[in-house]
Amino acid sequence: MNNVLAVAKRELKSAFNSPVAYVVILGYLLFTGIYLYFINAFYSLGQADLRAYFSIMPIVLAFLVPALTMRSWAEERRLGTYELLLTLPFSENQLVIGKFLSSFALAAIAIALTIPVPLMASMLGSFDAGVLVAQYTGVLFEAAAAIAIGEWISSLAKNQVSAFLGTVLVLLALVLVDRISSFFGSGGFVASLLNWLSLSYHFDSFSRGVVDSRDLAYYVSALVLFLYLSSWGLNRRKWS
């Protein structure tokens, strides 16, 4: 556990020593804020409901998460510190989890900084606190799964730019794949498979304020699968 924290602490120090973390978090807050107040026209709707605000989160995270995870392994490879990390007494799992935790902490900070939005809105009308908790739970779980995917792609990518673009593409595909499921007829195998794969399909009930254990299971499985793939890839490299 100390090793995991050592890796995460180093990542966070580097992130906050450079402007990247600040820029990404600020960009996220600006975009979601502009969407809520100008595009969604929250005040003119006259409803004490942030469902629209949360339902765009999967798309927004498809850009936020790659910006957080692109450096992860690709930057280590550029600096040569990859060799340092892999010759320090860390296990592959500790490295992968440490890096995941640091990106997740940054995402959680960005997400936590949106809390003033419902707080201010609650002064205008009565919000259901339970719904808000469900909505934030959903965002955090979806972010965790997306970060695991981003970390894995960064571990395969040659540089930061390709890590960013690759992750954006994969996440957008996973967010939007449920939109095409209706072409295959509702209820069919292909349609339900596409729905099941989709990051945003599993987010729907959260944004309505419902925590469904099947959706949680989906995000947790994706998280574990991609962390495992990263760790497996690191291990395999030693034999090549």
Contact residues for other proteins, defined by CB under 8 A: 2-3, 5-6, 9-10, 13-14, 17-18, 79-84, 86-91, 238-240
Nearer to other proteins, 88 or 119 (CB): 88
With respect to other proteins, which residue has the nearer C-beta, 84 or 193?
84
Minimum separation from the CB atom of position 237 to other proteins (A): 8
Task: Provide, rounded to whole angstroms, the least separation between the CB of residue 98 and other proteins.
Answer: 10
Q: How many Cβ atoms are within 10 Å of 22's Cβ, its own excluded? A: 11
Closer to other proteins by CB, 34 or 88: give it: 88
SS3 228: helix
Nearer to other proteins, 87 or 126 (CB): 87
Residues 6+ apart with CB under 8 A from 7: 85, 90, 94, 95, 97, 98, 99, 101, 102
CA distance 200 to 96: 25
Q: How far is the CB of 11 from other proteins (least distance, A)?
A: 10
**Closest distance to other proteins from the beta carbon of 87 (Å):** 4
Distance CA 28, CA 110 (A): 7
| Closest-CA residue to 199 (of 146, 148, 149) | 146
Give the total residue count for the chain.
Answer: 240
